[in-house]
Amino acid sequence: MNECDLILALGASFSNHTGITPSQPTIQVDYDRMQLGKFHSVNVPVWGEIGVTVRRMADELANASHTVDQRSEVAERWAIWREEKKSRMLDDRGNGLNSATIFAELTNAVPSDVIIAVDVGNNTYSFGRYFESQGQRILMSGYLGSIGFAFSAAMGAWAATQDQDEYRGRKVISVSGDGGFGQYMGDFTTAVKYNMDITHILLNNSELGKISKEQRAGEWMVWATDLHNPSFSAFAKLCGGKGYRVTKAEQLESALQKALDYSGPALVEIISDVDLI
């Protein structure tokens, strides 16, 4: 992002955590004018409907573009990053699976037509780093800090698509940490009651890992972030759904496939390393 000629942000805002330099020339287009330059200075704020604005831009620039084909550079960087991901999959401290392995397996297992709801926390960052989307619809809550979003969003997505021919019958997947799911785990009984076809992927590291990381970054003492968890896979079974527990990398592929093949609520509890994100 910091090496491009121009940033054109269409309906996208910048967070307080962005690493994009404010000196980069930026055009931001949004229908909500309160989002324009809210957290990140922009050179040209455009208050407008995105479709209308982009069509005007395309008309004006039809014969005026002088671009450089950077696809080969992008492909090279992508290859380097994939090698880096492979090297991270070898990390093992004996405290659970690393995130690179978890999301590599999820990438291989998940069909392209599913809907995926992602929670808040380190699991979200890991999903963004390692999961390679192939057309799946991704639901996220951005920087709202709404821990526990994923499973509730998955239930909403399932309910909202039952009367839409385009989406009816599609699998819904949710991804969260143990802290997020633990806050709303009672909702799993509702998913069982209505036989919602949802597969939940739960990264269990017995900690609010993102909060621990923020405390260390602020040079504070890590305080009150450890969690006392039940067996989430056993809980899923007690609720009437399917539950699978993964403690070793070689168990992951089979557990994911069994959960995805089940036409109802299923949960895959993966014991993960809080530091290998």
Q: Mapping DSSP to helix (H, G, I), strand (E, B) and coil, where does residue 228 land?
A: coil
CA 277/CA 272 separation, integer angstroms? 9
CATH of 83-271, one of 3.40.50.970, 3.40.50.170, 3.20.20.140, 2.60.40.10: 3.40.50.970
Global model pTM greater than 0.75: yes
All CATH 3.40.50.970 domain ranges in the chain, comma separated: 83-271
**In the predicted model, is pLDDT for residue 2 greater than 80?**
no
- Which residue do the tokens 């290998």 mark? 276
pLDDT of residue 143: 66
pLDDT digits (tens, 9 = 90+) for 21-50: 878 899 999 999 999 998 888 999 999 999
Supply 110's token pair.
């998940």
Percentage of residues of the chain with pLDDT beyond 90: 80
- Which residue do the tokens 């690393």 mark? 98
Supply 141's token pair.
């809550």
Residue-wise burial string across 31-68, b where 16 or more C-beta atoms lie within 10 A, e elsewhere: eeeebbbbebebeebbeeeeeebeeeeeeeeeeeeeee
Q: How many CB atoms lie within 10 A of CB 212?
A: 19
**In the predicted model, is pLDDT for residue 238 greater than 70?**
yes
